[in-house]
Chains A and B, each alone.
Chain A
């Protein structure tokens, strides 16, 4: 029973954390402010030989 209780509490905590990420749009804020700029910097720094 104790283990089940711990699992239930853990799941509840996880769902709450995910709900907060969802509501405050933290996933897309991370993309907008960190991931996309980082990737764009990487893509821009590559030497591309364009061919038509």
Chain B
């Protein structure tokens, strides 16, 4: 591909200084066949300087992780393939902020910095506690739990650290380097697990069969997970994370039919049951004050989040781009309120209010406002940014952002526990894709609320639940075709070989050319080869 001359990219001095180009030609910045920049994006003087200092800070945080226990960290990198993914964090930041300018860049960096700081914190704890890297007493002070469980009840044991172990060791991997998802899928399949199930539990099992989960804590808190594909991985995960039954395990289950009132009592019982299990294993009583305080912080975050959604719905101030908005929200839901998220949310609130009052249009190239529905890809999580940069489709909100966000009544314990049970039930994926088709069909109501004219419907081809809904969805889409443009975007969640990012882009391109009869905002992004990228 020939490079666009500098003068065409930046026809005026102002466009160079501000970094706002009429011909951004983003794909020309990549090393051929990859999505890795040959030269990082020029975002204008202020934006590039901001990016530079953010990059420095990212490396500082990564170095702090290594320096916390240098020998153990080195051993970890030598032992665990998954840990090498985190070396590519600056690349993830590049992917997640492609095309960002001005206040959006500022907001995105606040959200990403929070996630990086929180992840570094967890990785430090994992490395410090892992018995496979050397025996130590700290390990008993750590509670390992399944990452599809939110952290809330762990806050009731303030003297203990908790680690959602498979989030760092499995879920995050293709976000950094897509080939890592494929490697662990193959590892699981080589042991006889069917290849055609959801690739998320396949990756989790792959890490388990390779013996790469750290050994930490004195017990293992598992869950029934949001979908039935995970049934396949339960035994492998149990064996790996309980050391073949040597560590006590408790399944903290949550109802799938969560809005059926008859499940409420059971859901509350399950929380008490999990708390009792942890009290027995740790030998300390549950600290209700600490638990309640963490829930109040969660309430505060959720109140601010809903206010931000109001701004999205009523203006063109889309402060966080699609990928940062979605992952920041999901990450918060899983981690629960802590110092990083509280601080980041406060700062975001200031920036959002400032941007809203100044009536800043953060999506000047937008032709469509979209809601992205169903489960999104991990290896192509930045696909929502591509949608905007290439076709001017601004993904205002996505399905998994709308996980549990109701306010918990902390005034009395009975109400509080009922609300917490509901919060646990409304996890990412589970909220809309299980418990009755009325949940998945909330897409239309959501699109209306957020003032969208388009629906990007993710088609995770390995998801049996959603495949079962395909006919129903098509029927409903036809009923709403005068109200919304609806475009399927295929992916295979964790395995880029089945549906590559290029294939996903091709499906959208075809829709935009043939159905919408539109031309791309940035033609270089329409079709490019990134098959050897991360």
Contacts and interface: CB of A to CB of B under 8 A. Distances in A.
A52 B34 contact: no
Q: Taking chain B's interface residues, is the majority helix, strand, or loop, or is none over half, making it mixed?
A: helix
Contact of B191 (A39, A43, A50): A50
A39 B77 contact: yes
Nearest to A28: B91
For the residues of A in contact with B, the DSSP-based class is: helix
Nearest to B51: A22
Contact of A18 (B56, B205, B235, B239): B56
Nearest to B190: A50
Interface string A26-52: 011101100110011011000011111
Interface residues on A, range: 20 to 34
A19 interface: yes
B6 interface: no
Contacts, number: 72
A22 B87 contact: no
Interface string B3-44: 000000000000000000000000000010010111110000
Contact of A22 (B34, B52, B78): B52
Interface string B40-64: 1000000010011001100100000
Contact of A31 (B38, B91, B187, B191): B91
A51 B87 CA distance: 28
Nearest to B188: A52
29 contacts: A22-B40, A22-B55, A22-B56, A23-B40, A23-B48, A23-B52, A24-B40, A25-B39, A25-B94, A28-B36, A28-B90, A29-B36, A31-B88, A32-B34, A35-B87, A36-B87, A36-B88, A39-B77, A39-B84, A43-B84, A48-B210, A49-B211, A50-B191, A50-B210, A50-B211, A51-B209, A52-B191, A52-B205, A52-B235
What are the 6 closest A-B residue pairs judged by CB atoms, nearest first? Answer: A52-B191, A50-B209, A43-B81, A25-B37, A39-B84, A28-B91
Given A36-B88, A52-B193, 20 more contacts: A18-B52, A19-B52, A22-B51, A22-B52, A24-B38, A25-B37, A25-B38, A28-B91, A28-B94, A31-B88, A32-B31, A32-B534, A36-B87, A36-B177, A39-B81, A40-B81, A42-B78, A50-B210, A50-B211, A52-B191
